[in-house]
Structure 1
Amino acid sequence: MTRKLIITTLTASFGGLLFGFETAVINGALPFITQFFSLTDAMKGATVSAALVGCIVGALAVGRPADRFGRRTLLRVLALLFLISAIGTGFAANIQAFIIFRFIGGIAVGGASVISPMYISEISPAEYRGRLTVSFQLAVVVGILFAFFTDYLLINTGENNWRYMMLSMGLPAIVFYVLLFFIDRSPRWLIKEGKREEAIEVFKHLNPEADSEKLVEEIQKTIDKKAVQKFSVLFKKDYSKLLIIGIAVGMFNQFTGINIIMYYATDIFRSAGFSTDSAIGQTVLIGLVNLIFTILAMRLIDKIGRRKLLLTGTLGMAFFLGLFAYAYLSDAFSSWMLLVSLICFIAFFASSQGAVIWVILSEIFPNNIRARGASAGSFSHWFFNGLTTFLFPVVIGLFSGSKGVGYVFIFYSIMTFLSFFVFKKYLMEMKGKTLESMK
Structure 2
Amino acid sequence: MNSSKTFNSRYIIGISFISALGGYLFGFDFAVISGALPFLRTQFALDPVWEGFLTGSLALGCIIGCLLAGNLADRYGRKPGLMVAALIFAVSSIGIAFSQTLTYFLVLRFAAGIGVGMASMLCPMYIAEVSPAEVRGRNVAINQLTVVIGILITNLVNYFLADAGHDAWRWMFGLGVVPSAVFLIGVTWLPESPRWLMKSGQAAKARHVLAKIGTADFAESTMKAIERSLSGATTKQSYKMVFEKAVRPAVVIGIALAVFQQFCGINVVFNYTSTIFESVGANLNRQLFETVSIGIVNLVFTLLAMWQVDKLGRRPLMLVGSLGLSILYIVLAIALQNHFPATLVSIFVLLAISTYAISLAPVTWVLISEIFPNKIRGVASSVAIVSLWAAYFILVFTFPILAQKLGTYGPFYLYAGICFLGFLFVKARVKETKGQTLEELEENLIRH
One-letter identity of the residue aligned with 1:287: G
Aligned to 1:146: 153
Aligned to 2:426: 423
Shift of 1:159: 2.0
Aligned to 1:271: 279
Aligned to 2:188: 181
One-letter identity of the residue aligned with 2:20: S
Unaligned runs of 5+ in 1: none
Aligned to 2:294: 286
Q: 1:395 aligns with which of 385, 397, 402?
A: 402
Rounded to whole Å, the distance in 2 between the matches of 1:248 and 1:210 is: 38
Rounded to whole Å, the distance in 2 between the matches of 1:384 and 1:391 is: 11
Rounded to whole Å, the distance in 2 between the matches of 1:209 and 1:392 is: 53
One-letter identity of the residue aligned with 2:337: L
- Residues 307-348 of structure 1: per-residue CA shift (max 9 Å, x gap): 1111112111111111101111225x3332211111101111
Rounded to whole Å, the distance in 2 between the matches of 1:228 and 1:340 is: 51
Unaligned runs of 5+ in 2: 1-7, 444-448
- Whether 1:51 and 2:58 are equivalent positions in the alignment is yes
Correspondence list, 1:358-369, <5 A: 358-369=365-376
Rounded to whole Å, the distance in 2 between the matches of 1:210 and 1:66 is: 28
- Whether 1:217 and 2:220 are equivalent positions in the alignment is no
Aligned to 2:364: 357
Rounded to whole Å, the distance in 2 between the matches of 1:269 and 1:210 is: 56
Please say if residues 199 and 235 of structure 2, whose CA atoms lie closer than 8 Å, have aligned partners that are also in contact.
no
Aligned to 2:257: 249
Rounded to whole Å, the distance in 2 between the matches of 1:84 and 1:24 is: 18
- Whether 1:158 and 2:161 are equivalent positions in the alignment is no
Aligned to 1:373: 380
Rounded to whole Å, the distance in 2 between the matches of 1:280 and 1:66 is: 38
Aligned to 2:436: 433
One-letter identity of the residue aligned with 1:13: A
- Whether 1:307 and 2:315 are equivalent positions in the alignment is yes
Correspondence list, 1:66-85, <5 A: 66-85=73-92
One-letter identity of the residue aligned with 1:418: L
Please say if residues 52 and 399 of structure 2, whose CA atoms lie closer than 8 Å, have aligned partners that are also in contact.
yes
Shift of 1:227: 7.8
Please say if residues 306 and 356 of structure 1, whose CA atoms lie closer than 8 Å, have aligned partners that are also in contact.
yes
Q: 1:31 aligns with which of 17, 38, 61?
A: 38
- Whether 1:408 and 2:411 are equivalent positions in the alignment is yes
Aligned to 1:320: 328
Moved more, 390-399 or 117-126: 390-399
Rounded to whole Å, the distance in 1 between the matches of 2:270 and 2:162 is: 18
- Whether 1:132 and 2:139 are equivalent positions in the alignment is yes
Please say if residues 237 and 379 of structure 2, whose CA atoms lie closer than 8 Å, have aligned partners that are also in contact.
no
Aligned to 1:91: 98
- Whether 1:338 and 2:345 are equivalent positions in the alignment is yes
SS of equivalent to 1:75: helix
- State the TM-score, normalized to the length of structure 1: 0.97
Q: 2:22 aligns with which of 15, 26, 35?
A: 15
Shift of 1:407: 1.1
- Whether 1:206 and 2:219 are equivalent positions in the alignment is no
One-letter identity of the residue aligned with 2:326: A
- State the TM-score, normalized to the length of structure 2: 0.95
- Percent identity over paired residues: 38
Please say if residues 320 and 341 of structure 1, whose CA atoms lie closer than 8 Å, have aligned partners that are also in contact.
yes
Shift of 1:203: 0.7
Rounded to whole Å, the distance in 1 between the matches of 2:215 and 2:221 is: 13
Aligned to 2:337: 329
Rounded to whole Å, the distance in 2 between the matches of 1:147 and 1:209 is: 43
Aligned to 1:167: 174
One-letter identity of the residue aligned with 2:278: R
One-letter identity of the residue aligned with 2:409: G
Rounded to whole Å, the distance in 1 between the matches of 2:301 and 2:9 is: 25
> Matched residue pairs, number?
434
- Whether 1:192 and 2:199 are equivalent positions in the alignment is yes
- Whether 1:115 and 2:115 are equivalent positions in the alignment is no
Rounded to whole Å, the distance in 1 between the matches of 2:343 and 2:155 is: 20
Moved more, 235-244 or 116-125: 235-244
Shift of 1:196: 0.3
- Residues 236-278 of structure 1: per-residue CA shift (max 9 Å, x gap): 1111111111110011111111111111111211121110011
- Dislocated runs of 4+, deviation >3 Å: none
**Considering only aligned residues, what root-mean-square deviation do their CA atoms show, in Å?**
1.2
Please say if residues 95 and 108 of structure 2, whose CA atoms lie closer than 8 Å, have aligned partners that are also in contact.
yes
One-letter identity of the residue aligned with 1:397: Q
Rounded to whole Å, the distance in 2 between the matches of 1:397 and 1:369 is: 43
Rounded to whole Å, the distance in 2 between the matches of 1:47 and 1:253 is: 21
